[in-house]
Amino acid sequence: MIQVKRTIQKNTAAFLLIAMANLVIAFLSFFVLPPKFFYDAAIIAYDKGNEIGYFGSYPLTILLYKISGFRYLPFPIIALIQFPILIYILYKIGVPDHFEKINVKNILVYLAIFMMAIFMSMPSKEFVTFLYVSPIVFMCLNNHISIKKTLFYTILLLVIFGAFYRPYYALIPIIGGGMYAVSRITFKNKTITSIFYGLLIAVFLSFSHGIIKGKYLSEISREVVNSDRVGSADANSIIISPVKTDTWYGETIGIFYGFFTVNVPINGLKHILSPQIIVFIIWQLLLFYILLVRFSKCLKDRKNYPKELLVLLIIFSFFIVQGVFEPDLGTAVRHKIGIFPLIYFALYYEHFRKKLQ
């Protein structure tokens, strides 16, 4: 009994120590980071284009920061407010046993907390996303909320978020539902097959958009953003499809290429002279592998892991959607930090299961 108490003290102490160290980093980020890190923050804080409104990630984020009064605060003060809120949410989700021990999983989380301090030390759309997806995790942690209710409310949350904030979130239930349906069919490797068919669903959705609107999804998102950035100083990690995405086969290749570039970015190792990119790449590779192993386990034992499987389906559906929309590796990592409550839960779900039993 005494040993258990000591373990709890050690893991909580490690969590709080890491949190405090990164709070300092969050505060100092404004004075250290180059101007390009604050491009989105400046749009949100100053709204020189008068984009404020009720629909769309920029307009709604600007509105929320105006209502809260945060947009009128200096960025370092915003960091001192926002970062502790995010840490408190993770703390309420739970601090896993042996969090103080140095292992691959814990290091991934340490780095993620560091990236939280960097990316959310300013007005940020990811801060809004982080807060929004957190209730999904708390529903999964609540034994009194059934899987059916959790599923219903999760889909509702994602659809509403897609309607008002980021449209591609509305695609997650469609892709996740398709992956789940495919996983029920007998295949030799359900994990890889589910992801493959998830990618095919994303391709089909893009084709549907192309038929209705005249342009495929990656054309109106990633390709538009990157067309003006090619050759610029800030374009060293942009994701460019090897073929033009204005044809059905080009869009198919582009989506598969985007998925692997964002989530298994081996080709990004060419940025050997950019240490920060290499660190992000290693982080994504290890994260993807660990989550893939957990996804495989939950698919094999779905009856005992229904909520864990739900969260992993959301995560991998999000990864697939990233293959369509993400313009560069840096943005891809930042957006992953936006859904970090889900990733945090997925990485440590065995610990949370023991707590609930």
Tens digits of residue pLDDT in 342-352: 999 999 998 88
The tokens 């889900």 sit on which residue?
Answer: 342
Domain boundary residue, one of 89, 105, 123: 123
Say whether pLDDT at 2 is over 50: no
| CB contact set of 33 (below 8 Å; sequence gap of 6+) | 118
The verdict on 115 and 158 lying in the same domain is: no
For position 188, what pLDDT does the model report?
A: 77
In this structure, the answer to whether residues 216 and 188 fall within a common structural domain is yes
Tell me: pLDDT of 195 over 80: yes
What mean pLDDT is predicted for residues 270-281?
Answer: 75
Cβ neighbours of residue 85 under 8 Å, at least 6 residues apart?
131
Partner residues linked to 238 by β-bridges: 328
Residue 94 has pLDDT above 50, yes or no: yes
Structure tokens at 134: 């957190």
Which residues, including other chains, have CB under 8 Å from residue 153's CB and lie 6 or more apart?
135, 136, 139
- The pTM (predicted TM-score) of the whole model is 0.93
**Which positions ≥6 away from 237 have C-beta within 8 Å?**
268, 271, 274, 277, 328, 329, 330
Give the integer Cα–Cα distance in Å for 246 and 251. 7
- 141: Cβ–Cβ under 8 A, 6 or more apart, which residues? 93, 94, 345, 352, 356
Rounding to the nearest 10 degrees, give the CA dihedral for residues 285, 286, 291, 293. 110
If asked whether residues 53 and 166 sit together in one domain, one would say no
- pLDDT value at position 286? 94
Structure tokens at 281: 């790449």
The answer on 107 and 10 residing in a single domain is: yes
Of 57, 91, 123, which one is at a domain's C-terminal end?
123
DSSP 215-233: S-TTTTTHHHHHHTTTTST
Residue 345 or residue 275, greater confidence: 345
Q: Which of 65-74, 161-170, 226-235 has the lowest mean pLDDT?
A: 226-235
Highest mean pLDDT among 4-8, 152-156, 260-264: 152-156
Give the mean model confidence (pLDDT) for residues 85-98: 95
Q: Are 189 and 287 members of one domain?
A: yes
157 and 84 assigned to the same domain = no
Query: Which structure tokens are listed for 216?
Result: 């495929």
Pair 39, 78 in one domain: yes
Please write the tens of the pLDDT for every residue from 103-116: 999 999 999 999 99
CA neighbours within 13 Å on the CB side: how many for 113?
A: 26
179 and 295 housed in the same domain: yes
Same domain flag for 262 and 133: yes
Residues 109 and 201 in one domain: no
Cβ-contact 324, 221 below 8 angstroms: yes
Indicate whether 115 and 144 sit together in one domain. no
Strands in 269-336 per DSSP E: none
State yes or no: pLDDT of 210 exceeds 70: yes
Q: How many CA atoms lie within 13 A of 327 on its CB side?
A: 16
Tokens of 69: 């009064």
C-alpha closest to that of 205 among 252, 151, 147: 252
Mean pLDDT of 277-294: 91
Say how far apart CA 126 and CA 9 lie, in whole Å.
31
Residue 34 backbone dihedrals phi, psi, to 5 degrees: -70, 160
Domain end, chosen from 123, 141, 168, is at 123
Whether residues 227 and 111 share a domain: the answer is no
Least confident window among 271-285, 292-306, 327-341 = 271-285
Mean residue pLDDT of the chain comes to 89
Of the two residues 330 and 235, the one the predictor is more confident about is: 330
Tell me the residue range of the domain where 56 lies.
Answer: 1-123
CA distance between the termini of the chain: 18
- In this prediction, residue 1 carries a pLDDT of 44
Q: Do 3 and 89 meet the contact criterion of CB atoms below 8 Å apart?
A: no
The total number of structural domains in the chain stands at: 2
Cα(39)–Cα(334) distance, rounded to whole angstroms? Answer: 13
Residue 139: closest CA among 154, 126, 129: 154
Q: Is the predicted pLDDT of residue 243 greater than 50, yes or no?
A: yes
